[in-house]
Amino acid sequence: MGLHLSIDRVPGADRMADWRNHGEDEAEREYMESGADVIEYYPSYVESETDGNLELFTRKWCENGPTVGAFADCGNNGRIIGGENVPEEILSLILSHVDSKSLPNCRLVCQRWKNIIDLDIWRFKLEKKVYRQLTNLLHNIRSPFPIIYRVFKHKSFNRNLIKNPSGEEKLCHWEILKNGGDGWKIEEPPNGADELPFDENFPTTSCFSTSYIRCTKVQLIDLWAEGLSPIIMDELRPTIYVSEWYAARYDCASTYTLYVTLLNRNQQKLLAFKQTKRVEQWLGSEWNKVEHEFKNYCEGVRYVKFFHSGCDCQFWKGHYGSKMSRACVRVVL
């Protein structure tokens, strides 16, 4: 028996834009877009079930799945593929290979597929990725699927959330606060300093370089937008790991500062880490790593603010200040 599953996004998600911001939960709102598929192709069903209220229908759809009306499960619905009656164990194995982005569309096929995906597939994927803590945390949640979906969609854990960490994209994604002296400069390879140590996670060899008056910039990371919902941050309290490499020129003294803060939804400071390094003339050129782990922090963390700065200590025109590269913020589970 040859099986070929082609699962594409059905047009219609744009119709949700007018009301998607009115939901009660951010994670659920994102997943509720899947109801647009049904609205697009079954308008009479929507009208009969909820008097045409799109928001009410989509919420009902996402909470209960296709359990009523034309979508009620019966007999072998969802098990017949290519004319063959496929056992649920095999169907579960097939669906486990569907990518996370397409799984919400698979849930819309029938009640059987929805149950298999909600009860088995995500648990299988969680265990494969050593996310058992998530499974335990969400065990008693009424509708955990949207939360888990966001984690997989954004690949929230164990990846660098800093964009453009070494200047590969010039100064994109960074907010420049101070551009002192001759301003920020991208160097590849670093001028007047050693080559960066090999790191398979950072294949580039570029760096940011500062000048004779302080240069500072910042990047703000919204953890919720990266798929880390409040319940994950508040209940699991995953470790937030931050790091960066810094160096001085061999011939000029310089200072480097890393300042990272955890902020709540109103961008009020909850916790901070700061480290300043000064390297004297003729003692620099090698790269050093600053790193820190935030653990056991309080509830309400939503943002990570990554701030770094540097300058030379001898007021030399050009770019003789400290250099930094491989800025990193990872949420570790």
Boundary residue ending a domain (154, 187, 205): 154
Boundary residue ending a domain (154, 189, 210): 154
165 domain-assigned: no
Distance CA(12)–CA(61), nearest Å, equals: 15
Q: Going along 183-268, which residue ranges are E strands?
A: 185-187, 207-209, 215-222, 239-247, 254-263
106 domain-assigned: yes
Specify whether 128 is located in the same domain as 196: no
What pLDDT was estimated at residue 18? 31
166 domain-assigned: no
What pLDDT was estimated at residue 149? 76
Specify whether 130 is located in the same domain as 187: no
Specify whether 77 is located in the same domain as 180: no
21 domain-assigned: yes
Distance CA(220)–CA(209), nearest Å, equals: 20
Specify whether 322 is located in the same domain as 189: yes
What pLDDT was estimated at residue 9? 34
Specify whether 183 is located in the same domain as 326: yes
CA separation, residue 333 to residues 100, 157, 233, 327 (Å): 19, 6, 11, 20
Specify whether 179 is located in the same domain as 210: yes
Q: Give pTM, 2 decimals.
A: 0.66
**Number of C-beta neighbours around residue 174 at 10 A:** 21
Residues 6+ apart with CB under 8 A from 32: 16, 20, 23, 58, 59, 61, 62, 146
Specify whether 28 is located in the same domain as 109: yes
For the record, the structure tokens of 141 come out as 């949640």
Specify whether 148 is located in the same domain as 17: yes
| Residue ranges making up the domain that contains 282 | 175-332
89 domain-assigned: yes
Specify whether 100 is located in the same domain as 227: no
**Ordered per-residue pLDDT tens for the chain, 333 residues:** 344 443 333 333 332 333 233 333 555 555 444 444 333 433 444 444 445 454 554 455 445 444 333 334 446 677 776 667 777 777 877 787 777 778 788 888 888 888 887 766 666 665 555 456 676 777 666 667 677 778 877 888 889 999 999 999 999 999 999 999 999 999 999 999 999 999 988 988 999 999 999 999 999 999 999 999 998 899 889 999 999 999 999 999 999 999 999 999 999 999 999 999 999 999 989 999 999 999 999 999 999 999 999 999 999 999 999 999 999 999 997
3 domain-assigned: no
Specify whether 206 is located in the same domain as 323: yes
Specify whether 146 is located in the same domain as 182: no
Count up the domains in the chain and report the number: 2
Specify whether 125 is located in the same domain as 186: no
What pLDDT was estimated at residue 75? 62
CATH code assigned at 206 = 2.60.120.260
169 domain-assigned: no
